[in-house]
């Protein structure tokens, strides 16, 4: 019996980080079950998962979050981040800029564009443009949820690589809480 005690202790200690990680995951701000009654006016960013389900219908579980249908595109809710995935022919038959307008519709109503810049990556990679927005209502929402995220939102647009000119947007990542430049 004494011989197995060190093995049992080691197995118990090895399992401990799994429990801690799970507890930390469930404590993430946008995973809160109850939304604060702050009246946040947003198209999606800053919403808790139950609010996302109310707005877009029941989400479909995915590896990194929940998936929702959004005007022919796919919206992925990954904790506090939102990712919009555009199918290849999404822009066909739509007004120019409809993709950016759809992404911007997910921002809080008080979001203000503060900066844009090209993201310089690997030569063979798809081109990216980065936009930075600021929202005081989003900062207030995160404070109510007990999170230290700011109201700044980094939006990374990834375009199809079509030679010298970028093609249509393939994806847009909305990442809240980034510091100001």
pTM of the model: 0.79
Q: Is residue 58 part of a domain?
A: yes
Q: Within a domain: residue 92?
A: yes
45 CB-contact burial (10 Å; exposed 0-12 / middle 13-18 / buried 19+): buried
Mean pLDDT, range 43-49, rounded to an integer: 93
Q: What is the pLDDT of residue 19?
A: 30
Structure confidence by residue, pLDDT tens digits, 64-117: 899 999 999 999 999 889 999 999 899 998 999 999 999 999 999 999 999 999
- The order of strands in the sheet holding 128-134 is 60-61, 66-70, 73-78, 81-85, 165-176, 152-162, 128-134, 112-119
67 in a structural domain: yes
Neighbours of 86 (CB within 10 A): 22
Question: Is the per-residue pLDDT at 22 higher than 60?
Answer: no
Q: In the chain, how many domains are there?
A: 1
Better pLDDT: 172 or 20: 172
Instruction: Report the distance separating Cα 68 and Cα 55, nearest Å.
Output: 10
Which domain covers residue 159, as residue numbers? 2-176
Does any domain span residue 163?
yes
Is 181 part of a structural domain of the chain? Answer: no
């Amino acid at each position: 019996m004494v011989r197995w005690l060190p093995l049992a202790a080691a197995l118990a200690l090895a399992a401990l980080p799994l429990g801690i990680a799970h507890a930390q995951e469930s404590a993430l701000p946008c995973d809160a079950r109850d939304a604060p009654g702050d009246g946040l006016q947003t198209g999606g960013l800053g919403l808790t998962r139950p609010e996302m389900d109310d707005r877009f219908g029941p989400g479909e579980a995915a590896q990194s979050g929940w998936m929702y249908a959004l005007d022919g595109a796919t919206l992925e809710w990954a904790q506090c981040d939102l990712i919009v995935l555009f199918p290849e022919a999404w822009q066909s038959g739509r007004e120019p800029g409809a993709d950016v307008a759809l992404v911007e519709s997910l921002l809080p109503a008080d979001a203000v564009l503060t900066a844009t810049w090209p993201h310089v990556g690997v030569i063979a990679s798809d081109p990216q443009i980065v936009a930075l927005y600021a929202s005081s209502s989003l900062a207030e929402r995160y404070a109510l949820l007990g999170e230290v995220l700011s109201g700044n939102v980094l939006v990374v647009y990834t375009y199809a690589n079509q030679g010298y000119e970028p093609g249509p947007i393939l994806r847009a990542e909305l990442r809240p809480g980034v510091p100001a430049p």
